[in-house]
Chain A
């Protein structure tokens, strides 16, 4: 059946720079914000923007991710006609291969897309934290009669070398795409969110697949080719909160952002909820010895110690006499007595013994604690 718009969510990323966090887990499945996984933000945006036809492209360590997504129920994507489809690499009669790049992942699933005969294809990625109405982006794309619309966000000039930068004319028509430029001419960074006219993109994908020299990547190959052909590419300015949580530092920072009073992204916004699974833990129990400031706490936690600027996922225990500062405690973490944690990320189900002290100074990257490196990080 025909659908005007199909959404493809890229969720196969390895997330190498997240270190231990992505050891056994695809980046989109990394826990975030006290009760979510990173991909929940993109999936909830789909639900809130009425995008009902969503293909999720997975590849790296997909078990947890697949279990989490399931049939898409928490995001109302378990639907009769379309809904959510997990698209993993597959083999055919004449063989098959892994997804070689972002464009290749889309090209390999052309059958899925063609099944809906769409006018537009939205490509988003499952590793950013933001609330965005994709429908507004689509309307903008239609008004401009563009071939491609790329959502962009202004980043600080000193950070431009970390992003894909778009150089545009005054009316936001894109004439150049620079991947991580040393001397940027613009501070408009691509958010990795694209809308294509499907018929246009399809031809480029077919041509790109034939090139053995290509990386089969949107940023490196497809978009430059389109710009070269004078296609109409427009930037769409997004001014909400958007965070790429690709490094341990930025993952930690994004959590500290959630504790700010004036953050434009609110998890308590009832008109733009972020949805996820719920394991039905009982409400949190705060004991009389607890001291809690600037923190987020989920169900099932029992807190008897002190918390400051910390995020507790479900079923975490912080015992009496312990002090947890600027730290992120993943589900099922148990903190013994008289523990001190500062700038620490403790992974799922790790028990920190009584008296442990783990502190990362302000100059260091936050420390990730797993059950294997527990002894090594104790200071």
Chain B
């Protein structure tokens, strides 16, 4: 049976979240109440019979490694295959590779040892909950060299500017890959190709001193490669800026979006926190909010996302905000349009307000 191995390539993802990415990479940023950005991609891979997944990461990966551990929470702690977090401690004196090609060059073993003939590559900024079986099937049936997972957004937002846009013919063959700001047909960053082709293209790129595998190895070879597009119709979002991060967290407060991303058939896997159910007291007043376990709510929470273990004391008000793990909102405090990193304490009666268009971001472990 044809199988795929996975690769999550974080090399070209920028640290987009200001204070939230001072000490961690974007892939490790908490998202949607109990997840981290990378969970969506990793979970999709784990559920697509991908038994080995490598992660190319250059920097700020402590938090990521802490989150992923042995991969057990994604069922990736395996005798055969498993999870390979591959940080950049490279010592090859003959190495001339650049950019993400350095990762490919120095981790060539990962691909050569893997038993799968195909590789599925993804970043961490395309948020979706799916399995890649159909994408893979499509790739095998069309006999394409490379198949890209693409989707169409009815409304284009600034986050889509950073994405590659796709033009296809009626058969789904890719005609062009551009940065056309008006094209709603977006490449998700997820693609499949044969392992042997991948290694061939890697060698070519390195020989040409290229520094971007997708742009230099695949996009530049559009004329000689058969590149197909597979259209994904499910719920998805692209998160690559403070604005898109805030908006796509908030979008999940809408029942329809919530149900589309968290369908009942497939749960998104993440590191298990073992927190108690959230406790609401007689004083709690909560509406339109996404709330993880381990919270104790005595105050008012409106239109907000609370991660695990958040305390909202009596008389405190949290509005239009994203509050991360173990934050403590003391009595009478008032928060509006705020994104608050882990372990922050807001003392009694404090008032903090950001603008809806530009939420106020508070760094980890502060006491205000």
Structural contact, B279 and A268, CB atoms closer than 8 A? yes
Per DSSP, are chain A's interface residues mostly helix, strand or loop, or mixed? Answer: loop
Known: A268-B296, A273-B274. A280 touches B288 (CB 8 A): no
Structural contact, B279 and A283, CB atoms closer than 8 A? no
Residue interface mask A247-268, B partner, CB < 8 A = 1: 0000000000001010000011
Structural contact, B282 and A294, CB atoms closer than 8 A? yes
- Which among B261, B277, B305 is the interface contact of A267 at CB below 8 angstroms? B277
Known: A278-B274, A295-B280, A296-B279. A290 touches B294 (CB 8 A): no
In the assembled complex, B293 has its CB within 8 A of some CB on chain A: yes
Q: Which of B105-113, B262-270, B343-351 lies on the face that meets chain A?
A: B262-270
Chain A positions 260-310 with a Cβ under 8 Å from a chain B Cβ: 261, 267-268, 273-276, 278-290, 292-300, 302, 307
Residue interface mask A55-97, B partner, CB < 8 A = 1: 0000000000000000000100000000000000000000000
Chain B neighbourhood of A284, CB < 8 A: 278, 290-292
Structural contact, A287 and B287, CB atoms closer than 8 A? yes
Structural contact, B34 and A283, CB atoms closer than 8 A? yes
Closest chain-B Cβ to A112's Cβ sits at a distance in Å of 27
Chain B neighbourhood of A279, CB < 8 A: 267
- Determine the distance from Cα of A42 to Cα of B289 in the docked complex, in whole angstroms: 34
Closest chain-A Cβ to B184's Cβ sits at a distance in Å of 27
- Determine the distance from Cα of A276 to Cα of B272 in the docked complex, in whole angstroms: 10
- Determine the distance from Cα of A295 to Cα of B291 in the docked complex, in whole angstroms: 14
Chain B positions 286-338 with a Cβ under 8 Å from a chain A Cβ: 286-294, 296, 301, 305-306, 309
Closest chain-B Cβ to A72's Cβ sits at a distance in Å of 14
Q: Which residue of B lies closest to A44 (CB)?
A: B274
Chain B neighbourhood of A268, CB < 8 A: 275-276, 279, 294, 296, 309
- Determine the distance from Cα of A297 to Cα of B293 in the docked complex, in whole angstroms: 8
In the assembled complex, A35 has its CB within 8 A of some CB on chain B: yes
Structural contact, B34 and A275, CB atoms closer than 8 A? no
Structural contact, A283 and B267, CB atoms closer than 8 A? no
- Which among B252, B253, B268, B277 is the interface contact of A312 at CB below 8 angstroms? B277
- Which among B252, B274, B286, B294 is the interface contact of A286 at CB below 8 angstroms? B286
Structural contact, A283 and B280, CB atoms closer than 8 A? no
User: How many residues of chain A are within 8 Å of chain B by beta carbon?
Assistant: 39
Chain A neighbourhood of B214, CB < 8 A: none
Known: A286-B286, A293-B284, A299-B34. A281 touches B262 (CB 8 A): yes
Per DSSP, are chain B's interface residues mostly helix, strand or loop, or mixed? Answer: loop
- Which among B264, B287, B294 is the interface contact of A288 at CB below 8 angstroms? B287
In the assembled complex, A33 has its CB within 8 A of some CB on chain B: yes
Known: A274-B276, A281-B262. A288 touches B288 (CB 8 A): yes
Known: A278-B274, A282-B267. A294 touches B292 (CB 8 A): no
In the assembled complex, B32 has its CB within 8 A of some CB on chain A: yes
- Determine the distance from Cα of A34 to Cα of B268 in the docked complex, in whole angstroms: 20
Chain A neighbourhood of B18, CB < 8 A: none
In the assembled complex, B26 has its CB within 8 A of some CB on chain A: no
* Most chain B CB neighbours (cut-off 10 Å) among A279, A282, A290: A282
Chain A neighbourhood of B281, CB < 8 A: 261, 293-294
Known: A276-B274, A287-B287, A290-B287. A281 touches B280 (CB 8 A): no
- Which among B33, B264, B301 is the interface contact of A283 at CB below 8 angstroms? B33
Chain A neighbourhood of B276, CB < 8 A: 33-35, 267-268, 274, 296
- Determine the distance from Cα of A34 to Cα of B294 in the docked complex, in whole angstroms: 12
* Most chain B CB neighbours (cut-off 10 Å) among A281, A285, A289, A302: A285
Known: A268-B296, A273-B274. A283 touches B255 (CB 8 A): no
Chain A positions 289-338 with a Cβ under 8 Å from a chain B Cβ: 289-290, 292-300, 302, 307, 311-312, 315
8 closest cross-chain pairs (CB), A and B: A283-B33, A267-B276, A34-B277, A282-B262, A280-B267, A296-B277, A298-B277, A283-B292
* Other 18 A-B pairs with CB < 8 A, given A282-B258, A282-B262, A285-B253: A261-B281, A268-B275, A268-B294, A268-B309, A273-B274, A281-B262, A282-B32, A283-B305, A283-B306, A284-B278, A285-B290, A290-B286, A292-B284, A298-B277, A298-B293, A299-B34, A300-B267, A312-B277
A-B contact list, 13 entries, CB within 8 Å: A34-B276, A268-B294, A273-B274, A283-B32, A283-B33, A284-B290, A286-B289, A287-B288, A292-B280, A294-B280, A298-B277, A298-B293, A315-B264
